[in-house]
Structure 1
Amino acid sequence: MTDLVPTPSDRPDPADQHRRSGVSPGAAPDPGADRRGARGGRVRVVTVAYNPGDELERFLSSLKAATSREVTVVIADNGEEHGVVEALAAAHGARVVGDGVNRGYGGGANLAAQGLDEDWIVVANPDLVWRPGSLDVLIDAAIAHPEAGALGPRLLNADGTVYPSGRALPSLAAGTGHALLGRVWPSNPFSARYHGGNEDVTHAVGWLSGACLLLPADVWRELGGFDDGYFMFFEDVDLGARIGASGRVNLQVPEAVVIHEQGVSWKARPERMIRAHHASARRYMRASHPAPWRAPLRWALSAGLRAREEIAVRAARRG
């Protein structure tokens, strides 16, 4: 998942063409749509736990009212407090996978998705609280929009404000502008375009936050899930870009509402997370823009990211 620094992409942004409900991007219908049928079939929910506290209990408890479909929950245990995770899993009928290795977010989600034979896969942070019926709303939207490769809900912060979870895939220049200006001038035009609008209808975006994603299982299998070369952050940006490149769209469904009690992992180890975040940003930038003629912009963005990383680390140490 990613939430601080944007990443640039030269890939076409489907949100520029398909912004409103009734999205009709011209992509071929999903061949899995008929198999999923009107009721939507079975769902696998995967989450990645790292020495969780009470948030995992809230996640599992609230999930029961989020959907009427048949749900299998798989938890990737990336931490050391295995007894806590195992006890919560047993209490809620979930399965735990992991061998003591911290694979990061994308790698943990991929591990929990192995052997996927359900019709849908949901990747979600363990610090989510599901609103009743929210997952059913997402699945119903996916059935109505077979052109969608991924769908995400409206994420609300714990105080009720909207978290910008559906964003654009900015150009390299726009990514540089946001990286350099995002903290000192939050309302700058680069950041405003990157974060997108607060639309109240189902609409296409460049990518969706990995804090809560629904994908048809056949799309997940075709794309191979996350690129687990991103230990933390930007695996969702990369996945969203690959979904767009495959001819599908990323749809945000604001009628589905989920509370994101974010910050649990950050509060525990902020410096490590800040550095992982910026390392992933640089990796994505290099992978997306390898052309030699783009080197000056890559250097500028890399410099901006490194400066921002050090500022954020110093602020975390003071805090």
Structure 2
Amino acid sequence: MSPATDEPVRVICVTYNPGPELDDLARSLRTATTRPVHLVLVDNGSAGDRPEQVAAAHGGTVLRAGENLGYGRAANLGAADGDEPWLVVVNPDIVWEPSSLDLLIDAADRHPGAGALGPALLNPDGTVYPSARELPSLTQGLGHALFVRLWPGNPWTAAYQRRQESAQAGERTAGWLSGACLLVRREAFAAVGGFDPGYFMFFEDVDLGERLGRAGWHNVYVPSAHVTHVGGTSWRERPARMISAHHASARRYLHRRYHRWYHAPLRLAITVGMAVRERVELRATRRTPRA
């Protein structure tokens, strides 16, 4: 039986004071798939009406959360009232290449055990961002956290990121896939309860990938599908909040992974180490003038 080409897709985009990049996302989505698309913009408290403007111009629905729910909780809200078999969670600063979403769904038909699938995530200069990674072990996680800024090519970071050398590499499974652009089978998403709302921002995709794996689903990287990620548009004016949110989510993830009673000294060490690292990064941000 040939794959269905008329199954609808729900594309969920969480917004927070978006700029013109949201128009670029919606415009590129038109050629990303031939399937019916329901674009849902979940707004986390934007001051303006750009989400409504984009929805009116390109077709879509705006859900106003009324407050900043965080990324995962808002994405869950966007998925809640539909019945489309395919969910796409995407950042507002993603640009789809033609047919890229169809390529992801076609790959899902080839991999019926895939709960989540991710495309090759390209930087604006065309290089490939390492968006399909292994779940971090304790040594890899600590080595990556401590040395990535001073020694980007360190072996712990290389092992953790499992760098893709080319967007033309073959399809493969991964521990988790970047939530910047993620196709999720609704059945799998519902089976694990969606994103953990306890993560405000960052690590919700790592946690989702791990829980999908534990539930028997695969995370599949599909490098034939290309999207470009501009990166960080909603946080450029708020670097301190981004740093604090990242460290809070990292602590939550590691504490939940090492939750047994005999891990208590390790959790304490993680808490202290993360606090020191956060303070150093915040201090460096205050010293660095913004362009």
Aligned-partner SS, 1:238: helix
Aligned pair partner of 1:102 in 60, 68, 72: 68
**Could you tell me which amino acid in structure 2 is paired with residue 315 of structure 1?**
A
Tell me if the contact between 1:176 and 1:300 (Cα under 8 Å) persists in the aligned partners: no
CA distance in 2, matches of 1:217, 1:289: 29
RMSD between superposed Cα atoms in Å:
1.6
- Alignment deviations for residues 47-73 of structure 1 (CA, whole Å, 9 cap, x no partner): 001011111000000000000001100
Identify unmatched segments of 5+ residues in structure 2.
none
Query: 1:37, CA displacement in angstroms?
Result: 4.6
* 1:268 match: secondary structure: coil
Secondary structure in 2 aligned to 1:103? coil
Give the corresponding residue for 2:106: 140
Distance change in 2, residues 1:185/1:299 (3 Å):
farther
Q: For residues 286 and 99 of structure 1, what CA distance do their matches in structure 2 show?
A: 29
- Asked if structure 2 preserves the Cα contact closer than 8 Å seen for 1:38 and 1:143, the reply is no
Alignment check: 8 A CA contact 1:180 1:305 kept:
no
> What is the alpha-carbon distance in structure 1 between the residues aligned to residue 65 and residue 135 of structure 2?
35
* CA offsets 1:33-92 (integer angstroms, 9 cap, x no match): x9x953361100000010111110000000000000011000001123342211111111
Cα contact 2:107–2:222 (8 A) shared by 1: yes
CA 1:139/1:215 → structure 2, altered by over 3 Å: closer, same or farther?
same
Alpha-carbon distance between aligned partners in 2 of 1:279 and 1:312, rounded to the nearest angstrom: 14
Structure 2 distance, partners of 1:40, 1:318, is: 53
Gaps of 5+ in 1: 1-33
For 1:157, the equivalent position in structure 2 comes to: 123
**Would you say the 8 A contact 1:201–1:254 is kept in 2?**
yes
The match for 2:215 is: 246
Q: Aligned equivalents of 1:290 and 1:214: distance in 2?
A: 30
1:265 maps to what in 2? 234
Q: CA deviation at 1:115?
A: 1.1
For the 8 Å contact 1:179–1:304, the answer to whether it is kept is: no
Report SS of the residue matched to 1:299.
helix
How many angstroms apart in 1 are the aligned matches of 2:65 and 2:133?
34
> Quick one: distance in 1 between partners of 2:248 and 2:180?
19
**1:244–1:250 contact (8 Å) kept in structure 2:** yes
Counterpart position of 1:275: 244
Paired residue type of 2:22: L
1:54-65 residue pairs with structure 2 within 5 A?
Answer: 54-65=20-31
Shift in alpha-carbon separation, 1:248–1:123, aligned structure 2, 3 A: same
**TM-score normalized by the length of structure 1:** 0.86
Offset of residue 160 of structure 1: 1.2
Query: In structure 1, what residue type is equivalent to 2:103?
Result: V
Structure 1, residues 161-216: CA drift from partner, whole Å, max 9, x if none?
A: 11111111021222122212222222111111100031601011100010011011
Residue by residue, what CA displacement relative to the aligned partner does 1:103-155 show, whole Å, maximum 9, x if unpaired?
01111111111112011000000000000110000000000000111000000
What does 1:158-197 align with in structure 2 at a 5 Å threshold? 158-197=124-163
Q: 1:178 to 1:40 in 2, by over 3 A?
A: farther
Q: For 1:267 and 1:99, how far apart are their aligned partners in 2? A: 22
Q: Distance in 1 between matches of 2:175 and 2:79?
A: 24
Higher relative contact order (CA 8 A, sep 6+): 1
**SS of structure 2 residue aligned to 1:160:** coil
Which segment drifts farther, 204-213 or 284-293?
284-293
Asked if residue 316 in structure 1 is aligned to residue 285 in structure 2, the reply is yes
> TM-score scaled to structure 2, two decimals?
0.94
**What SS does structure 2 have at the residue aligned with 1:79?**
coil
- Which of 271, 274, 282 aligns to 1:302? It is 271
Q: Answer with 45-54 or 294-303: which moved more.
A: 294-303
Identity %: 54
Aligned residues between the structures:
285
* CA separation of 1:221 and 1:116: change in aligned 2, threshold 3 A: farther
Contact persistence 2:89–2:181 (CA under 8 A): yes
